[in-house]
Amino acid sequence: MVCETGKENEELYAVSFYDLRGRIGEWSKSPKRVDSGGRGVYMRIDVGVDLHKTQMTVYVRTGKDEGEGGEYATDEEGYREFLKALGKWRSKGADVRVAVESTGNTRYFMHRLETRGYPVVVINTMKFKVITQSVKKTDKHDACTIAEFLSKDMLPASKLCSEKSEEVRRLLKVRSMLVRTRVSIKNQIHGLLVSRGMEDTRASLQSKRGRQKIQDTLAGAGNGLVVQPLFETIEVLGEKIKAIEAQIEKLLAEDKAVKLLETIPGCGPVTAWTIRAYTDDIRRFASYKQYSSYAGLVPWVQCSNETEHYGRITKRGPEELRTAFVQLVMGIRRSRSTVSWRLMVQYESMKRQKGTGKSIIATARKMSKIVWYMLMREEEFKTSLMVDTKLDSVIQSMREEALCESA
């Protein structure tokens, strides 16, 4: 966009800001540069933000080696002043872009700016180590570094999940915490039973009748006051877990991805919810390899010249998604209808050679590939593809020939 030069325009480019001490000032440079024809051309303003819980440090890059810094509180007044400063830049024709690292309040920050029409780049901190490995670690320097890399379009971007997926994730995390707490309490009761020399089984605390029986037994042994609060806590936790599961089921009642995932034999609702929540939009993964890498189920690879090294899995990405695929494999393995699947045959063969752990992870990676195709094509799981009919017919014919020869 071309603008006229002159004193009037120079006065329009004076934009107020808050410096590092919170004092009001004037931007020293106008958001324009002069091209070869002597015309004023509006320039792009790159804003780097180092976001914290109580304040954010901002660096506005107006040109090569030129810029201004400032600090704003992360309360309502601070956001209002920050948006006011950005608005003055945009009102004079500047193209404003903002970049911020991914942190706890990034979603709220992004929402406040995008509702005003400012594009926000959320940085993938796992791929942007310039700040964490810098020997000069200050908020202003970090914001300046972010603005500089933004101006060169060299920031690795990270996509935030939808609000619905984030809500489901939070519910799943709370459920997981409650389940772990309940298991911890049950372990204490099991330990008490063992210390008293009483009969104990793994399923003795699973049912309400079984818990009542154990509670009566311990009360008769003089431990009623010790175990009564534990049993009451188990009951309360069970009710809370059921309430959370009901809320998640309500949120994902009409979700097509969950319905597709539940067509996999051995895939329960919790596993389907977890894969759905941490996958979010499957279309952002161009291939199944990217999806497996996102789940952290691919090995480290270091290849140079004629040397090739393959290490353990990267474990990058959400741990919950990786765990869900492991649980999916275990669920498939427990199902009787999956014994003849090629996937399970390969699993059993690998288990004898490399052990249970590696075989489970390898099968989980294969399942991530299958899930990617299912969600991309919006197709249900096809058990017919898990059985090689040609190979089965060859094996059957070989068995018949062997029987004929022996006869």
- In degrees, rounded to 5, the angle at the alpha carbon of residue 181 between the alpha carbons of residues 175 and 182 is 90
* 172 vs 129: CA distance, rounded Å: 30
DSSP run (H or E) holding 96: strand 95-101
* 330 vs 341: CA distance, rounded Å: 14
Region of residue 280 (phi > 0: left; psi between -120 and 50: alpha; otherwise: beta) = left
CB atoms within 10 A of CB 117: 10
pLDDT in tens, 376-393: 999 999 988 888 766 667
229 pLDDT above the threshold of 50 = yes
210 pLDDT above the threshold of 90 = no
In the structure encoding, which two tokens stand for residue 291, read together? Answer: 């999806």
275: exposed, middle or buried (Cβ count in 10 Å: 0-12, 13-18, 19+):
buried
Q: Which is nearest to 98 in space by CA: 155, 41, 136?
A: 155
Q: Which of 47-51, 189-193, 312-316 has the lowest mean pLDDT?
A: 189-193
Q: What is the mean pLDDT of the chain?
A: 84
Q: How confident is the model at residue 375 (pLDDT cuts 50, 70, 90)?
A: very high
Strands ordered across the beta sheet of 120-123: 66-73, 55-63, 44-51, 95-101, 120-123
* β-bridge partners, 100: 49, 122
Domain layout of the chain by residue ranges: 2-151, 163-251, 259-390
Q: Are 96 and 83 in contact (CB under 8 A)?
A: no
CATH of the domain spanning 2-151 = 3.30.420.140
60 pLDDT above the threshold of 80 = yes
- What is the amino acid identity at position 303? C
In the structure encoding, which two tokens stand for residue 385, read together? Answer: 């593809």
Q: What is the pTM of this model?
A: 0.79
* β-bridge partners, 44: 95
In the structure encoding, which two tokens stand for residue 300, read together? Answer: 């480290």
Q: How confident is the model at residue 216 (pLDDT cuts 50, 70, 90)?
A: confident
320 pLDDT above the threshold of 90 = yes
